[in-house]
Chain A
Amino acid sequence: MTDSSKTVNTFTPTVEAIETSRRNFLKFGASGAAAVTLSGVLPGMAAQALAQPAVIDAHTPKAGERRIRLTVNGVAQELNVATNAILLDVLRDRLQLTGTKKGCDHGQCGACTLLVNGVAINSCLSIAVQHDGDAITTIEGLAQNGTLHPVQEAFWEHDAYQCGYCTSGQIMSAVAILQDPAIGRDDASVREAMSGNICRCGAYKNILAAVQSARGKMARVG
C-alpha cells in the first residue's frame, strides 16, 4: 500500500497511560480477552501518518455508509464503510489484511486481537465507524523492515503454535501484556492475562515459554 518507513515501532518500551475517556472505556469494556489499557505506540504516530492518507474510496458515502479514516500499521487510509461493518471484517475484506483471524465473532476466542491506540481489543466486537481517527496495529505491522518483533521470533523459536490460526491474536495479546506493568511477570500472571486467547491445538506450554523469553529480548531492544 505505501511506504514502509511509516510503520510504527510497536515494541518500544515507552508506556503511556490511556486517558479514561468514555470512548476508551467502552472499547475496553467490549473486549473480553486479555484487554490491557496501555499504549506501546510512539507518540505522534497518528499525526505523522495523517500527512498522506491512502484513499481507498474516492466517492462520497452511499446511504448506510460513513467515511472514516484509520491509521493501520502506520498508514492512513480513508474509506467508506457500512455502519454495521465490524472492524475485523473491514480490515480483512476491504484492506486485505487477512492476518487477523475470525474465530468466533463473539469476543470469546481472541483470534481477532489487535491493538487500537495501543490497547489490545477483540476486533470482532468493535464497530468500524467507532474507530474513525484511530491508530490500529495488526500482526502485519509488527515486523520492522523484515526483522521480526521479539515476540514473533520467540513464537517461532519455541514452536508456540500448531495450526497457526490463533497465533496472530496470541502474539498481539502477548505484545500488549509484556508492555503492561500491571501484569505480573510470573508464569501464573501471564497465563491469567493470556486466557482470553484460546489455542484449540493446546500449544499453551510453548506459548508461555515464548512470551517469557520475549520479555528479556524486549527489554534489550529498549
Chain B
Amino acid sequence: MSEQLIGTAMRRIDGRQKVTGAAKYAADHPLPGMLYAYGVYSTVASGKIVRIDDQAAKAMPGVVTVLHHGNLPTLHRTPNAPLNVKEILHASRVDEHRLPFEDDGVYYPGQFVALVVANTFEQARAAAHKVKVEYQAKDAVRSLAQGLKTKGARDGGRGHKRGDPNAEVGTQRIDVTYTTPVEVHNPMEMHATTAWWEDGRLYVYESSQGVLNHRNLLANVFDLPPERVEVRAPFIGSGFGSKLWPWPHAIAACAAAKVTGKPVQLVLPRAQMFTTVGHRPDTIQRMRMATDANGKLVSIRHESFNSTSTLDPYTEACGVVTKNLYSCPNVLVSHSIAAVNRGTPTSMRAPGAAPGLFALESAIDEMALAVGMDPLKFRQLNLSTTDESVQLPWSSNHLPEAINTAAERFGWHQRDPRVGAMREGDELIGYGMGACNWDAFQVPAEARVTLRSDGSALVQCAVQDVGTGTYTIVAQTVAQLTGLPVDKIEVELGSSAFPPGPVSGGSWVTSSIMPALAGATRQALERLRGYAVAASGPFADGDVQALTIEGGALVNGEQRVSFADVLKSQKLARAEGRFQSGMPVNPTHSFRSFGAHFVEVRWDPGISRLRVARVVSAIDVGKVVNPLAGRNQVEGAIVMGLGMALFEAGEFDPRSGLPANNNYAEYVVPVHADMPEIEVILLDYPDYNLNEFGARGMGEIGVTGLAAAVANAVYHATGKRIRSLPITKEKLMA
C-alpha cells in the first residue's frame, strides 16, 4: 500500500474503448442469423384492441412472424413486491407489472400492441407500418389535473409528521404552489435488447442498470432457474433511472427469440423512449411555511401530488428532503398520486428530491424575502444540525462550509438584493442560490478478486458502469490494496454471471462495492500469504502476520517476493478472494450528502432571452475516489438541472392524451451552446461512519436544487417568481 490512488484523478481504464468505438453496447452485438424486431405501438391512450390485421405485413419479404396478444405464448409475471434494499441481490423488480401483450387492453399511448420480426431491420420496420390495428378507444385521463378531479388522489406513502404543522403559527407565512412537468430521461442509447436461446438457456445483452435484477426477472417471466439466464451490460449508454428496472420491450425481445429460435435484436425508436420505459411524473406541490419574528422556521407543510399510470402506483417522493434539511419543530410531508393514461413512471436521477427541492428551495427563497432576510443568511439561520426526522446525528454534514465556500467563490457579497438592480448592457443580472441534497447508502454487494501468476489481478462483479467511472474506481481500489499497478488490474463488470452486485442507482455503487472489493482483495491476499509460508514457499515456515504488502509483492524485512512468484513457487495459477459486504447495521447516524449551487442568470427584457451564465457549486459527498470522473458527474448533473430549469417538459395533447413532443428536437435538452461557466468545488471530507473509505456517492446530488437556484436568480433579475417549470421566455413575458 504505497502510492495513494484513492482520491487521485485518473483517466478511465475503459477510455480507449470509448474513444475508438470499441465499447460494445446492447445493440452492438451482431450475431449469425440474427433477426430484427420492430414494435407496433398503440395510437390511442386508452381502449381495447378489437382486431389486428397482420396479413399484409406477414406477406412482405423477409418477415418471420408478427407477435401480439392473440398469439404470444404464456408468460408469467414477476412478484409485485416493493424494493427491499437488504434483499437487493435477490430482487426481480419492475415498475410496470403488466407483461407485454398480456391482454387486449390499451392503458397508455405507445404501449406495445404487436412486434414484427424479420430478417433485416429495414424489412421489420417496413412491415411494422403495415400492421393494421383497430381500436375501440375509451375516454382517456389525459392530465394530472383531470386525474385528481375525476378519480381523486390516493395516498402515495413516504409521508412524515412531527409537532403540530396545522397550527396557525408564526408571524410570517407563505402558502404557494409549484408545478413540475413530466420529464423524460432520454439517455443517448435507446433501450435495446439482443437475446438468444441456446440449450434451454437464455442469453441477453440489455441496456440495463441492473443485470442481476434483470436476470431474476427474466427467470420469473420465462419460468427458468436463474442460473439458466445470463444478462450482460458491459457498457450502457447511460440510463438516469430509466434502465434500473426492466420494461416490456426486454421481455418481448426474449419471447421473440424463443418463438423464432434465433437471436433477435430490438431497439426502441426514440419516440417510444417517451412512452414505454418510464419517465419522471409531473407534480403539483403546495408549500406552506411560517417563521417567528426572528426568521426561525416554526412550521413547514409540503403536500405533493404526482401522476402515475392506471396500471401501477408510483410515488415521486418530493418531500423526503423537506423533513430534515432545515430545523423546524412542526413538519408535515405527504404524497398523493392520481392515475392518468400514460406509461408507468419510474425513478429519474434524484427521484423525489429533484422536483421536491425545486419547491423547497424556491419556497425558502420566498420565505427569506417575506422575512426580509438575505436568502443565504436565512438558510444559515435555519439549517438543521441533526436529522430531526429520525432524531439521529448527521454522519458527516459540511453544508455550512459548502455554502460559505461556494458563496465566496461566486461573489455573493457583490449581490445587490434589490430586484433588477444589477445590469450589464441590455441584460439584467440575477444571483440565486439553492441547497442540494441526496441520500447516502451502502447496499449489499459481492466481488471476486483473483491474483494471477502472470502478475495481474482479475476483478469481477455483477454491477454496472453506467458512465460514472465504476470500472476505474474498481481498479483504483484493488490497486491501492495490492500495490499492483492499475494497468495490471483487469476489471469485468456488467454480467449476471459474476458475483452479485446491486443495480446502479441511488448513488450507492461506489460506497457499496468498495467494501466488497476490499474484503475480496484481503481474502485473496490472505490465501497468498498462506501459500507463501507453505513448506515449499518463498517464506517457508515464516510468520504469516509478518508479511506485508508492498507494490504487488509480499515483504518481510529484506525479503520481497512478487505475488506472481509466490504463486509460481507453488505451481498455482491464482489466489482468489470472494466477499459479500452488507449494509450499516443499526446505524447510529443519518447518512446524506449535501451541497449548494450559486447561479447567475442574465435576462434581456427586450427579447425576453434568458440564459444561465455561471454556476458555482460546492459539494460534500464524502471522499471523492476519482476527482476527474467525480467532478464530471456533478457538472453533468448541473447540466441536467439546467435542462430541468429552462427547457425540459414532456407534453401531451390535451384532446387525445398522446405525447406531443416525443423526439430530441422538441423535447429540448441542453446542448453545447447552452453551457454556462461551471465550477464545482469538491469538499472531500471522508465519511468513515458509512464505510472504511469514507466515500458516499455523487451521481445524483448535482441535479437537485439547481432549478430552484435558477428560479431564485430569475426572480432577482426580473421580479417574476416562476413557480412552474420549465422557466421559458413566454412565462417571463407575461
- A residues near B (Cβ < 8 Å) are 64, 82, 84-85, 89, 92-93, 96-106, 108-109, 111, 138-140, 142-143, 148, 152-153, 155-157, 159, 161-168, 171, 190-192, 194-208
Q: Determine how close the nearest CB of chain B comes to the CB of A31; give it in whole angstroms.
A: 14
Residue of A109, A111, A202 with most chain B CB atoms under a 10 A cut-off: A202
Asked if B669 CB lies within 8 Å of chain A CBs, one says yes
Other A-B contacts than A99-B21, A100-B21, A163-B188, 17 sampled, CB-CB below 8 A, are A98-B21, A103-B270, A105-B269, A108-B664, A148-B19, A159-B11, A159-B15, A163-B189, A165-B188, A166-B188, A191-B672, A192-B672, A194-B672, A195-B673, A198-B664, A204-B672, A205-B635
Asked if B61 CB lies within 8 Å of chain A CBs, one says yes
Q: Could you say which residues of chain B place their CB within 8 Å of the CB of A171? A: 19
Q: Could you say which residues of chain B place their CB within 8 Å of the CB of A102? A: 27, 190, 267
Q: Determine how close the nearest CB of chain A comes to the CB of B278; give it in whole angstroms.
A: 15
The complex places the Cα of A168 from the Cα of B21 at a distance, in Å, of: 6
The complex places the Cα of A102 from the Cα of B466 at a distance, in Å, of: 18
The complex places the Cα of A84 from the Cα of B247 at a distance, in Å, of: 30
Q: A162-B238, A192-B672, A199-B188 are in contact. Are A152 and B19 (CB under 8 A)?
A: yes
Q: Could you say which residues of chain A place their CB within 8 Å of the CB of B633? A: 162
Q: Determine how close the nearest CB of chain B comes to the CB of A92; give it in whole angstroms.
A: 8
Q: Could you say which residues of chain A place their CB within 8 Å of the CB of B467? A: 161-164, 201
Cβ–Cβ contact A101 & B18, under 8 A: no
Residue of B16, B189, B640 with most chain A CB atoms under a 10 A cut-off: B189
Cβ–Cβ contact A200 & B20, under 8 A: no
Size band of the interface chain B makes with A: 35 or more
The complex places the Cα of A143 from the Cα of B20 at a distance, in Å, of: 7
Cβ–Cβ contact B468 & A162, under 8 A: yes
6 CB < 8 A contacts A-B: A93-B36, A93-B121, A155-B15, A163-B235, A164-B23, A191-B675
Q: Which residue of A lies closest to B628 (CB)?
A: A159
- B residues near A (Cβ < 8 Å) are 11-12, 14-25, 27-30, 36, 61, 120-123, 126, 186-190, 235-238, 240, 267, 269-270, 466-469, 628-629, 632-633, 635-640, 663-665, 669-673, 675, 678
Q: A82-B122, A103-B664, A164-B467 are in contact. Are A208 and B189 (CB under 8 A)?
A: no
The complex places the Cα of A153 from the Cα of B123 at a distance, in Å, of: 39
Q: Determine how close the nearest CB of chain B comes to the CB of A25; give it in whole angstroms.
A: 22
Q: Could you say which residues of chain B place their CB within 8 Å of the CB of A202? A: 635-640, 670
Q: Determine how close the nearest CB of chain A comes to the CB of B147; give it in whole angstroms.
A: 29
Point out the residue from A106, A148, A195 that lies within 8 Å of B664, measured CB to CB: A106
Q: Determine how close the nearest CB of chain A comes to the CB of B670; give it in whole angstroms.
A: 7
Cβ–Cβ contact A93 & B236, under 8 A: no
Cβ–Cβ contact B30 & A103, under 8 A: no
Q: Could you say which residues of chain A place their CB within 8 Å of the CB of B665? A: 106, 108
Q: Determine how close the nearest CB of chain A comes to the CB of B643; give it in whole angstroms.
A: 8
Q: Could you say which residues of chain A place their CB within 8 Å of the CB of B468? A: 162
The complex places the Cα of A140 from the Cα of B123 at a distance, in Å, of: 27
Q: Determine how close the nearest CB of chain A comes to the CB of B243; give it in whole angstroms.
A: 11
Cβ–Cβ contact A205 & B15, under 8 A: no
Q: Which residue of B lies closest to A62 (CB)?
A: B61
Q: A163-B467, A195-B673, A205-B635 are in contact. Are A84 and B30 (CB under 8 A)?
A: no
Cβ–Cβ contact A167 & B18, under 8 A: yes
Q: Determine how close the nearest CB of chain A comes to the CB of B676; give it in whole angstroms.
A: 10
Point out the residue from B14, B30, B123, B675 that lies within 8 Å of A205, measured CB to CB: B675
Cβ–Cβ contact B25 & A101, under 8 A: yes
Q: Could you say which residues of chain B place their CB within 8 Å of the CB of A196? A: 671
Q: Determine how close the nearest CB of chain B comes to the CB of A196; give it in whole angstroms.
A: 8
Q: Determine how close the nearest CB of chain A comes to the CB of B464; give it in whole angstroms.
A: 10
